[in-house]
Amino acid sequence: MDKFPKHIGIIMDGNGRWAEKRNLMRTEGHKVGAKKLEEVIEYILELNIKYLTVYAFSTENWKRPKLEVNTLMKLFEKYLIDNEEKFMKQNIRVCITGSRNNLSDKLIKKIEYIENITKNNAKLVLSIAFNYGGRLEIVDSVKKIIDEKLEITEENISKNLYNSFIPDVDLIIRTGNEFRISNFLLWQMAYSEIYFSKLMWPDFTKDELHNSILSFIKIDRRFGGIKC
């Protein structure tokens, strides 16, 4: 068990293609994707993983058609409302990682409310990257360091990230059969292992999660050093 990843990050890609293949609107894919997230959190809890970060909306996603952006905003708010009771019952602390710029006041209030009521929950930290960009997070961190007149060091950059108490990500899973990082956790993934899954996010399974963890366990992580 101590070879298990402590922090898993998931790039939930492929909702749009999943829907298009079924002649559905892309937004239908996101709806099924949101349900899939609920299911995957159950598996993560079973495995006693301590930190999960999921990529739900990037700073670049604003470029999508208005209908898709609005659907993702509403879906996220609905997700927080619908799951409030579950977060408390399952002892899940929810943190929303990202910029609050351009989010509606209503959504910001909901985010603050959920973060506040779940702040003492301890089984799992669920970090939802929403309006998130890895580059922006680093820039925001450096700005805070400059404001506080501190030295620009790796330690200070790490300390000033959005949720600096969350450790670096051990394993990143990207679904959707594409092979890039898309501005996700750029600072925290310096030594992450990456598992690319062919499955579209709505088709993701418990078995595929287990496959990704098995491949992580088999890797000899050296963090730039050599095996003694």
According to the binding rule CB under 6 A, does residue 182 interact with ligand FPP? no
Single residue of 5, 8, 13, 170 touching ligand FPP by CB under 6 A: 13
Any catalytic annotation for residue 203? no
Residue 128 vs 166, nearer CB to ligand FPP: 128
According to the binding rule CB under 6 A, does residue 133 interact with ligand FPP? no
According to the binding rule CB under 6 A, does residue 184 interact with ligand FPP? no
Binding mask 93-132 for ligand FPP (x = CB under 6 A): -----------------------------------x----
* Rounded-to-integer distance, Cα 32 and Cα 14, Å: 11
Question: Shortest CA distance to 13 belongs to which of 60, 56, 63?
Answer: 56
DSSP codes joined into one string, 125-153: EEEEEEEE-HHHHHHHHHHHHHHTT----
Any catalytic annotation for residue 116? no
Return all residues near 124 (Cβ < 8 A) that are at least 6 apart.
41, 44, 45, 49, 50, 51, 52, 90, 91, 92, 93
According to the binding rule CB under 6 A, does residue 79 interact with ligand FPP? yes
Task: Enumerate binding residues for ligand FPP (CB under 6 A).
Answer: 12-17, 30, 33-34, 37, 56, 61, 75-76, 79, 128, 176, 201
Q: Which residues carry out catalysis?
A: 13, 61
